[in-house]
Amino acid sequence: MSNMTIVGAQWGDEGKGKIVDLLTSEVDMVVRFQGGNNAGHTVIVDGTKYVLHVVPSGILHPGKMCIIGNGVVLDPESFLEEIDALQSLGLDVSPERLKISYKTHLILPYHRAIDGAREGKAKAKIGTTGRGIGPCYEDKKSRVGVRAGDLTDPEVLRAKIERALEEKNVLFTQLYGMPALDPQTVFDDLMAIAPRLVPYLADASSLIMEADAAGKSIMFEGAQGVMLDIDHGTYPFVTSSNVVCDNASIGSGVHAGMIDQRIAIVKAYTTRVGSGPFPTELFDDMGEFLRRQGGEYGATTGRPRRCGWLDLVVLREMIRLCDPTTMALTKVDVLSGLKEIKLCVAYEYEGKVMKYPPQTPRGLDNSKPVYEVLPGWDEDLSGCTDWDSLPRNCRRYIERIEELLGVKAGYISVGPDRNQTFRR
Ligand code: GDP
Ligand code: IMO
Ligand code: MG
């Protein structure tokens, strides 16, 4: 199998972790290329539930190499908690098979503090995960960030923390009414865990390129979803990294030509966590039905996810930006038991019918979904193992989506377990 990128097609939580886990059996290496522990990727294997935040979901397959790329932001404390939890479930998370790029930026206590204080004070809250993701990427772009490789040079590390806190302590004390953070304490706390982190550091870019040159297969695992992309999503209600497929190369340090397959993970309906426009959102019993049937509560923060019908306008935008070679359609089983299913095929915006999201600042807020209504089905799908075993109306729903988007659903997922997925 060749090299591929897995990307979330909507606003996150499409089931990326599940599909990455499934396809890991066919690759040799899995690389996370953006985001941080704002992500929550749930994988269920034989009834055991694993929730991955920054560790690639490929870790569940013994012997596969997993890499945290330069495009990720890594919270050292949270990373150690995550690997401890995985280890207690019997997984090998040793530095022999899990690597962190020297260039990965570290999320430090002051990033979390800024994230929390800013959201607390804001009138129009973004509804971030509070993990310090945005402030860490800000420091990276401002060139005052601390990178994982700095852990090997205490003097450089101390100077960087001191420099960062010079500015941030003014914010804390004068704007947010909080106590200043002591650079020495931040430094000491980090140095105390550095011996556990340093063995994981590696020249990730070279490792990936060497694996490719040796004929190995690599999967690039995305977090979040295209509508949360910092440039192309529903700005400012987005995350702070590029989510689109092509960031896989920048976020891992490989050239784009190395990746030839792009798999978009599409949930059979739409969800969103946090604030921001969501044209097909349902505020009635139907929304509650999807939340209950789909267990739509955040894997990272436990927040109830906002739920709505599948939005093909959003998916057309994703296709325009990512050109997926195939789609994986997940959570189709959740729609069982509905008399009718609505599919948003376009928006009505300022009297016009739009097939793509309007690009004006408040375009999405003022867009009304145009729906096509399809017949539902009652059958439980959780035991379906191939296309022919799906009820006729379910196949019609999937075929209509494919027809309107011009992309095939190469994988269909009908339950949370690793086994509950089949290929077309
Ligand atoms: P990710 O962030 O894209 O990896 O997705 P999450 O793990 O946050 O959310 C997806 C949720 O749906 C998880 O709880 C999965 O266990 C679950 N899930 C994934 N695929 C399916 C499916 O086909 N059917 C059902 N019922 N649940 C699924
Ligand atoms: P996975 O990988 C769903 C959302 C947050 C918020 C916005 C900004 O599990 O699909 P941030 O903390 O990133 O600054 O928050 O982005 N968000 C996610 N929503 N799934 C995710 O990840 C998300 N990661 C961030 O809810 O609206
Ligand atoms: Mg998630």
Q: Which residue among 42, 228, 291 is best mutated to probe the pocket of ligand 1, counting the most ligand atoms within 8 A of its Cβ? A: 42
Q: Are 104 and 34 in contact (CB under 8 A)?
A: no
Compute, in angstroms, the gap from residue 128 CA to the centroid of ligand 2.
Answer: 7
Give the tens place of pLDDT for each residue, 322-368. 999 999 999 999 999 999 999 999 999 999 999 999 999 889 999 99
Among 43-47, 78-82, 155-159, 314-318, which is the least confidently predicted range? 43-47
Q: Give the catalytic positions in this structure.
A: 13, 41
Q: Are 67 and 207 in contact (CB under 8 A)?
A: yes
Measured CA to CA in angstroms, residue 58 lies from 26, 106, 279, 339, 349 at distances of: 11, 22, 34, 38, 42
Element housing 161 (H / E): helix 154-170
For the chain, percent of residues with pLDDT exceeding 90: 96
Average pLDDT value for residue range 62-89? 97
Task: Please report which ligand is nearest the Cα atom of 35.
Answer: 2
Task: Report helix, strand or coil for 323.
Answer: coil
Compute, in angstroms, the gap from residue 146 CA to the centroid of ligand 1.
Answer: 33
**pLDDT value of position 1:** 61
Ranges of beta strands (E only) in 34-118 are 41-45, 48-52, 65-68, 73-74, 98-101, 105-106
Q: What is the 3-state secondary structure (H, E, C) of 10-34?
A: CCCCCCHHHHHHHHHCCCCEEEECC
Instruction: Compute and round to an integer the Cα radius of gyration of the chain.
Output: 22
Matching residue, tokens 């097609």: 9
Task: Report helix, strand or coil for 79.
Answer: helix
Give the tens place of pLDDT for each residue, 210-229. 999 999 999 999 999 999 99
| Ligand 2 binding pocket, CB closer than 6 Å | 8, 11-13, 38-41, 126-129, 131, 133-134, 223-225, 228, 239-240, 273-274
Q: Which residues contact 244 (CB under 8 A, 6 or more apart)?
A: 7, 226, 229, 231, 232, 321, 322
| Ligand 1 binding pocket, CB closer than 6 Å | 8, 12-18, 39-42, 44, 295, 299, 330-331, 333-334, 413-416
- Whose alpha carbon is nearest atom 11 of ligand 2? 128
* Beta-carbon count within 10 A of 101 CB: 30
**pLDDT value of position 302:** 86
pTM for the predicted model, two decimal places? 0.97
Residue 284's pLDDT band (boundaries 50, 70, 90)? Answer: very high
Nearest atom of ligand 2 to the alpha carbon of 8: 10
Closest CA to 257 of 56, 2, 18, 47: 2
Q: Which residues contact 138 (CB under 8 A, 6 or more apart)?
A: 240
Nearest atom of ligand 2 to the alpha carbon of 274: 27
Compute, in angstroms, the gap from residue 235 CA to the centroid of ligand 2.
Answer: 13
Residues with CB under 5 A from ligand 3 (ion): 13, 40, 299
Give the tens place of pLDDT for each residue, 70-80. 999 999 999 99
Among 133-147, 201-215, 233-247, 298-312, which is the least confidently predicted range? 298-312
Q: Which residue among 330, 334, 398 is best mutated to probe the pocket of ligand 1, counting the most ligand atoms within 8 A of its Cβ? A: 330
Q: How far, in Å, CA of 407 to CA of 389, rounded?
A: 22
Q: How far, in Å, CA of 422 to CA of 25, rounded?
A: 14
Nearest atom of ligand 1 to the alpha carbon of 42: 7
Matching residue, tokens 């300022």: 350
DSSP secondary structure code for residue 93 in this structure: -
Measured CA to CA in angstroms, residue 111 lies from 35, 338, 351 at distances of: 14, 44, 44
Compute, in angstroms, the gap from residue 104 CA to the centroid of ligand 1.
Answer: 27
